Amino acid sequence: MRQVAILAGLCVALLALRPSCEAQPAAKDPILVGVMLPLSGSIADFGKSAHQGVLLAAEQINAAGGIKGAQIKLKVIDTRSDPAKVEAAAKKLINEDKVCAAIGDVASGHTLVAARLFKDAKLPLITPCSTNDTLTEGNPWLFRACFADKQQGEACAVFARQRLQKSKIAVLTERDSAYSKALAESFKKRAKELSGEIVAENNYGSGTNDWAPVVEALGDLSKLDLVFAPVYYSDAAMITQELRQQGYTGTILGGDGWDSDQIVKLGGKALDGAYWVGHFNAASDDAKEFVAAFRKKHDAQPDSLAALGYDALMMLKKAFMDAKTTTGKEVADALASLKEFKGATGLMSMDEKRVTKKSVFFFRAKGEAITFDRELKAEDVAKAK
Ligand code: PHE
């Protein structure tokens, strides 16, 4: 009986082993990295781009000799823009595929689901683009290739006051979106510190398709010179059209939820002159090599999500190289101490709370085109008075 128990115990222990993640991997064992992204469903555009970026990074890492001789092998799961699928994907990657670390997901609400499971399994998870601040709070296993909403909201306030010189501000948010609410809060706080006035506010429920009352609730539009709408791009396009239809002539500003080529297609003429936050400036020096390699591999121009997916895997590679072993703890420690890491999206450094600090980019719609307007460095946002 006792022997059976010992044998069973041994089997469990063996099952729990992650052959390539326990100690220095033998060069013959690939290092397994999970990839959880929405490759189908409502936000598939974002997931597909990020996936293309991850594939390019894996190809480059392996062509250059891998991680100390071991190749990286990706285990990709489509999370279908559905948080329930994210949970199943995370469980599979952790328990069946036995990955050493993973990249994912896109929307903050989805990443939150995976982050809890990776925390319990003590394995690092890097999100390319989930900006919600709560993700890293109390979770030393979660990392971002992007800035967080506190920094983004503050950057928007500095941009609104100093670059656009606007002071009579309305804020429109999506009520049930943690992303929208948190970004609005950080913006409002910093805008008030910079003597901006929040004149009107309104929030709407998810699935809204009658935008007239949403805009009417802001009151007299002629009293405003800026509307800040930290929402996702399809709502943003509708809100912009409605604002213009109701005669609003002031400026419109959005957050990174607008950072999609779709925004100008959906918004059309109404979008002309609007500003928003982006993660990636394809014309910058930091982006050059990545853009050329991406075009060669995928025969397409990379967008923000492609660059962030690429950067996420490159951060992980750096951590694998810096860590003595490929165990979760050592890799997480290496990620937490990344400083001045040169990504396609710019220089990034982890602060003492494992929050990624980097530049926030602002873009503007000019007709059908999207033009780069300016870069706000983390220290400029902190210093602005
Ligand atoms: N920052 C968004 C979130 O946290 C996701 C996103 C990133 C959307 C980039 C568009 C572009 O939910």
Ligand 1 mutation pick, 147, 149, 179, 360, max ligand atoms within 8 A of CB:
179
Q: Is 298 helix (H, G, I), strand (E, B) or coil?
A: helix
Distance between Cα 129 and ligand 1 center (Å): 5
Distance between Cα 69 and ligand 1 center (Å): 35
Domain count, the chain: 2
Judge contact between 225 and 166, C-beta under 8 A. yes
Question: Which ranges of 170-232 would DSSP assign to H, the alpha helix?
Answer: 178-193, 212-216
Distance between Cα 80 and ligand 1 center (Å): 16
Looking at the fold, whether 176 and 237 belong to one and the same domain comes out as yes
Judge contact between 142 and 119, C-beta under 8 A. yes
Q: For the residues 35-41, what does the mean pLDDT come to?
A: 97
Give the span between the Cα atoms of 259 and 254, in whole angstroms.
9
Give the span between the Cα atoms of 21 and 337, in whole angstroms.
20
Nearest CA residue ID for atom 8, ligand 1: 257
Looking at the fold, whether 274 and 161 belong to one and the same domain comes out as yes
Give the span between the Cα atoms of 378 and 340, in whole angstroms.
13
Residue 14 binned pLDDT confidence (cut-offs 50, 70, 90):
very low
φ and ψ at 326, to 5 degrees?
-105, 20
Q: What is the pLDDT of residues 350-364, one digit of tens each?
A: 999 999 999 999 999
Looking at the fold, whether 269 and 372 belong to one and the same domain comes out as yes
Distance between Cα 100 and ligand 1 center (Å): 25
Mean pLDDT of the chain: 93
Q: Which atom of ligand 1 is nearest to the CA of 106?
A: 5
Looking at the fold, whether 10 and 55 belong to one and the same domain comes out as yes
Q: For the residues 316-339, what does the mean pLDDT come to?
A: 95
Task: Return the amino acid letter for 20.
Answer: S
Distance between Cα 259 and ligand 1 center (Å): 8
Q: For the residues 95-104, what does the mean pLDDT come to?
A: 96
pLDDT at residue 24, as a whole number: 57
CA distance between the termini of the chain: 73
Q: Which atom of ligand 1 is nearest to the CA of 127?
A: 4
What tokens does 18 get?
Answer: 């992650």
pLDDT at residue 367, as a whole number: 87
> How, if at all, do strands 101-104 and 31-37 pair?
parallel
pTM above 0.75, yes or no: yes
Residues having CB within 6 Å of any atom of ligand 1: 46, 106-108, 129-132, 179, 256-257, 259, 304
Cis peptide before 29 (omega within 30 of 0): no
Specify the range with the lowest mean pLDDT, choosing from 19-28, 54-63, 110-119, 332-341.
Answer: 19-28
Q: What range defines the domain where residue 168 resides?
A: 150-278+361-383
Looking at the fold, whether 178 and 293 belong to one and the same domain comes out as no
Looking at the fold, whether 259 and 373 belong to one and the same domain comes out as yes
67 forms beta bridges with 70
Residue 13 binned pLDDT confidence (cut-offs 50, 70, 90):
very low
Following DSSP, what letter does each residue of 328-342 receive, concatenated?
A: HHHHHHHHHT--SEE
What tokens does 70 get?
Answer: 């071991």
Following DSSP, what letter does each residue of 215-255 receive, concatenated?
A: HHTT--GGG-SEEEE-S-HHHHHHHHHHHHHTT--SEEEE-
Looking at the fold, whether 36 and 141 belong to one and the same domain comes out as yes
360 forms beta bridges with 376
Distance between Cα 198 and ligand 1 center (Å): 24
Q: Which atom of ligand 1 is nearest to the CA of 130?
A: 4
Which pairs from 61-67 meet CB under 8 Å and 24+ separation? 61/313, 61/314, 61/317, 66/27, 66/31, 67/25, 67/31, 67/317, 67/320, 67/321, 67/326
Nearest CA residue ID for atom 10, ligand 1: 257
pLDDT at residue 324, as a whole number: 87
pLDDT at residue 2, as a whole number: 57
Residue 61 binned pLDDT confidence (cut-offs 50, 70, 90):
very high
Looking at the fold, whether 248 and 378 belong to one and the same domain comes out as yes
Q: Which atom of ligand 1 is nearest to the CA of 233?
A: 10
Following DSSP, what letter does each residue of 20-55 receive, concatenated?
A: TTSSSPPTTSPEEEEEEE--SSTTHHHHHHHHHHHH
Distance between Cα 356 and ligand 1 center (Å): 15
Task: State the number of CA atoms in the 13 A half-sphere of 40 facing the CB.
Answer: 5
Give the span between the Cα atoms of 278 and 307, in whole angstroms.
11
What tokens does 12 get?
Answer: 């469990």
Specify the range with the lowest mean pLDDT, choosing from 23-32, 39-48, 246-255, 353-362.
Answer: 23-32
Looking at the fold, whether 143 and 205 belong to one and the same domain comes out as no
Looking at the fold, whether 222 and 304 belong to one and the same domain comes out as no
Residue 304 binned pLDDT confidence (cut-offs 50, 70, 90):
very high
Nearest CA residue ID for atom 7, ligand 1: 129
Under DSSP, the state recorded for 167 is: -
CATH of the domain at 174: 3.40.50.2300
Looking at the fold, whether 245 and 257 belong to one and the same domain comes out as yes
Distance between Cα 131 and ligand 1 center (Å): 6
Element (H, E) at 376: strand 369-376
Q: Which atom of ligand 1 is nearest to the CA of 107?
A: 12
pLDDT at residue 326, as a whole number: 87
Name the percent of the chain lying above pLDDT 90: 86
Residue 15 binned pLDDT confidence (cut-offs 50, 70, 90):
very low
Ligand 1 mutation pick, 42, 126, 130, 177, max ligand atoms within 8 A of CB:
130
Looking at the fold, whether 159 and 25 belong to one and the same domain comes out as no
What tokens does 284 get?
Answer: 């910058």
8 has pLDDT over 70 = no
Give the span between the Cα atoms of 194 and 186, in whole angstroms.
13
Distance between Cα 108 and ligand 1 center (Å): 7
Residue 6 binned pLDDT confidence (cut-offs 50, 70, 90):
low
146 has pLDDT over 50 = yes
